[in-house]
């Protein structure tokens, strides 16, 4: 809730402040004189003391001349209305009372700044409320003592000095507690009260109930027992407003109840009217002090408890937010660690695979590359020793065979290296042309190449892929189909079906087939399922690695003696599909 600003703070001129303070002091004095107790002339409550203290606390020490002026005028009027002759003694007494009133509020400001040290109202903490009560009780002695001693000395009446001091002291203290508390609460006070429908209805019924009680007490001639019970009847309402409302409402209600009690008492009715007017005055003042102090202190305790609860709830919310944030951070950290562990695991697997392949590669290179060379060197030595033409031709034929074996092995190594290093290049694939070129290449490098296989193509969309890698795949699969098929069963069927986003390719032969126990290993590097027409052991491994580079899948179905079917699933890298893939 936004704090109310004291109106005079809007004006920077100190003379305006002093004038305003003097006028406020005179208005409060007029209200106090209106409550003068009949017969004895004492005041149950002295409002100017509270107004002066509040204005000094709000505006600072600089407004003390306004209090001095207001006090001089006020007590001059009081003395004149009471028939006191305005001689030098009276003027001296008035000046002394005015100076004492100024000293009173300045002392209150000094104590307030050192004991409470709060910019806002002291009614937000129970300890500050008690400190403010102590301040009012201490400084009230200054003004009440000056007034009592001065007036009694001037009238040469010391018989009732102690009793008059008590009445004036209670009037000063109650005036400070009621009016200073009200002004501080209204201008600087916080509130936890909210103007919702329930609170507004509660405030309406409270006001209605209090108004009804006061109306009955004032308007009807009640039995004496009912009149005497007024202090007890009003207590539940004071507890109600202390527990359920703000400190502003509490100070207003307390002031209204006090003014009502004073009004009915000076008019000769109510529970505080006794046979002795001085006893009535004392009973009324004690009632006002007890009710005001009890209600305001209780309200401060409730407010402090509410503030503590609000801070605790806010702390719990912040703590819950911190826990959620920390939990999220931990979850993110765990996810990050899992991703890192997964990457490390993949990297380790790839490294392990690479190391295994490197070991196999080193072994095969040392064996398969050296074996043909050793064979060629042996055949050369034989040819040197035996110069006959038939033996020479046989040696040359064996040398050619060994050279071709070594050449094929080197080609496989080159294809494997290209697949690992060269990025795919997407082109439109013509499957008829691809098969023709593959068979044309095989006829130059192999014997007993069968005629062109049966090609079945179902295609409604153009298919794009890497042409060179497609040639490598078809070359290796078809060369295996030819090598491991007997001469009487060389038929090869190729089925191609281009679907939405990918192509399915099946290459079937009627060769010797592969036993089931070897089918899981045929895609490994340098693995040979049979020694028949033994090659480098890289063919199907190159097929698997090339298909993986194209982001496809490969598998085979094989039955010994019936043939083998190699199934390929390759993505269609058409231009529009490549754009969608790059966006993802």
Q: What is the pLDDT of residues 60-87, one digit of tens each?
A: 889 999 999 998 998 888 888 777 777 7
Strand 502-509 to strand 464-466: parallel, antiparallel, or no bridges (unpaired)?
unpaired
When pLDDT is averaged across residues 540-555 and rounded to a whole number, the result is: 84
**DSSP structure class, residue 484:** T
Instruction: Give the pLDDT score at 23.
Output: 93
Q: What are phi and psi for residue 4, nearest 5 degrees?
A: -75, 135
Flag whether pLDDT at 48 surpasses 90: yes
pLDDT per position as a tens digit, 355-370: 666 666 655 555 555 5
**Higher confidence at residue 400 or residue 541?**
541
Instruction: Give the pLDDT score at 217.
Output: 67
Instruction: Give the pLDDT score at 53.
Output: 92
User: DSSP 3-state assignment of 556?
Assistant: strand
Domain 425-583 has CATH 3.40.50.2300: no
When pLDDT is averaged across residues 332-342 and rounded to a whole number, the result is: 86
- Sorted by sequence, the CB contacts under 8 Å of residue 121 that are 6+ apart come out as 184, 185, 188, 189, 190, 247
**Higher confidence at residue 337 or residue 404?**
337
What are the residue ranges of CATH 3.30.565.10 in the chain?
425-583
Measured from the Cβ of residue 148, the count of other Cβ atoms closer than 10 Å reads 21
Instruction: Give the pLDDT score at 39.
Output: 67
Instruction: Give the pLDDT score at 287.
Output: 87
Flag whether pLDDT at 11 surpasses 50: no
pLDDT per position as a tens digit, 260-308: 888 888 888 778 888 888 888 888 888 888 888 888 888 888 888 877 7
Please tell me whether the overall predicted TM-score, pTM, comes out greater than 0.85 for this model: no
Domain 1-190 has CATH 2.20.28: no
Q: How confident is the model at residue 420 (pLDDT cuts 50, 70, 90)?
A: low
Mean predicted lDDT score pLDDT of the chain: 77
Placement of tokens 């005497």 in the chain: 228
Flag whether pLDDT at 9 surpasses 50: no
Flag whether pLDDT at 496 surpasses 60: yes
What are the residue ranges of CATH 1.10.1760 in the chain?
1-190
Flag whether pLDDT at 211 surpasses 70: yes
- Using a pLDDT cut of 70, give the percent of the chain over it: 72
Q: Judge whether 458 and 496 are in contact, CB under 8 Å.
A: yes
When pLDDT is averaged across residues 458-479 and rounded to a whole number, the result is: 84
Spatial CA neighbour of 115 closest among 136, 142, 143: 136
pLDDT per position as a tens digit, 357-404: 666 665 555 555 555 666 666 656 666 666 666 666 666 766 666 666
Integer Cα distance of 499 and 383 in angstroms: 59
pLDDT per position as a tens digit, 215-255: 776 666 666 666 676 777 777 777 777 777 778 888 888 88
């Amino acid at each position: 809730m936004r704090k109310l600003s004291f109106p005079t703070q809007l004006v920077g001129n100190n003379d305006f402040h002093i004038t305003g303070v003097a006028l406020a002091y005179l208005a409060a004095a007029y209200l106090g004189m209106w409550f003068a107790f009949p017969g004895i002339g004492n005041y149950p409550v002295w409002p100017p003391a509270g107004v002066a203290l509040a204005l000094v606390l709000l505006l600072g020490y600089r407004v003390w001349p306004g209090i001095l002026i207001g006090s001089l005028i006020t007590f001059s009027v009081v003395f004149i209305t009471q028939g006191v002759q305005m001689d030098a003694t009276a003027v001296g007494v008035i000046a002394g009372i005015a100076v004492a009133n100024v000293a009173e509020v300045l002392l209150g400001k000094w104590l307030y700044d050192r004991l409470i040290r709060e910019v806002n109202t002291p009614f937000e903490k129970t300890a500050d409320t008690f400190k403010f009560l102590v301040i009012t009780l201490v400084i009230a002695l200054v003004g009440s003592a000056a007034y009592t001693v001065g007036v009694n000395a001037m009238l040469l009446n010391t018989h009732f000095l102690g009793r008059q001091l008590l009445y004036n002291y209670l009037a000063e203290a109650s005036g400070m507690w009621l009016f200073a508390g009200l002004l501080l609460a209204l201008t600087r006070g916080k509130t936890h009260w909210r103007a919702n429908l329930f609170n507004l209805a509660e405030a309406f019924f409270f006001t209605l109930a209090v108004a009804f009680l006061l109306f009955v007490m004032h308007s009807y001639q009640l039995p004496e027992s009912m009149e005497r019970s007024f202090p007890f009847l009003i207590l539940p309402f004071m507890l109600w407003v202390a527990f359920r409302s703000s400190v502003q409402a509490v100070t207003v209600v307390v002031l209204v109840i006090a003014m009502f009690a004073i009004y009915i008492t000076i008019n000769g009715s109510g529970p505080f009217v006794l046979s002795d007017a001085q006893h009535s005055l004392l009973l009324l003042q004690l009632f006002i002090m007890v009710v005001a102090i009890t209600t305001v202190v209780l309200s401060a305790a409730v407010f402090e408890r509410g503030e503590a609860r609000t801070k605790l709830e806010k702390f719990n919310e912040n703590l819950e937010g911190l826990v959620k944030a920390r939990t999220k951070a931990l979850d993110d950290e765990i996810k990050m660690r899992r991703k890192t562990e997964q990457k490390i695991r993949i990297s380790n697997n790839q490294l392990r695979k690479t190391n295994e392949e490197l070991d196999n590669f080193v072994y095969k290179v040392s064996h398969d590359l050296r074996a043909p060379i050793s064979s060629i060197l042996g055949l050369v030595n034989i040819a040197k020793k035996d110069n006959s033409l038939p033996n020479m031709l046989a040696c040359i034929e064996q040398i050619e065979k060994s050279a071709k074996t070594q050449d094929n092995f080197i080609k496989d190594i080159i294809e494997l290296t290209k697949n690992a290093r060269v990025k795919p290049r997407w082109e439109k694939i013509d499957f008829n042309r691809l098969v023709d070129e593959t068979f044309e290449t095989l006829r130059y490098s192999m014997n007993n190449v069968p005629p062109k296989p049966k090609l079945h193509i179902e295609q409604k969309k153009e298919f794009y892929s890497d042409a060179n890698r497609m040639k490598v795949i078809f070359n290796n699969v078809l060369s295996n189909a030819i090598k491991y098929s007997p001469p009487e069963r060389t038929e090869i069927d190729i089925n191609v079906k281009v679907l939405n986003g990918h192509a399915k390719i099946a290459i079937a032969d009627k060769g010797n087939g592969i036993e089931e126990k070897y089918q899981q290993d045929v895609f490994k590097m340098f693995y040979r399922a049979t020694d028949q027409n033994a090659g480098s052991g890289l063919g199907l491994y190159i097929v698997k690695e090339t298909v993986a580079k194209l982001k496809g899948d490969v598998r085979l179905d094989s039955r010994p003696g019936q043939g083998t079917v190699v199934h390929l699933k390759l993505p269609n890298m058409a231009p529009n599909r490549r754009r969608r893939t790059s966006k993802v």
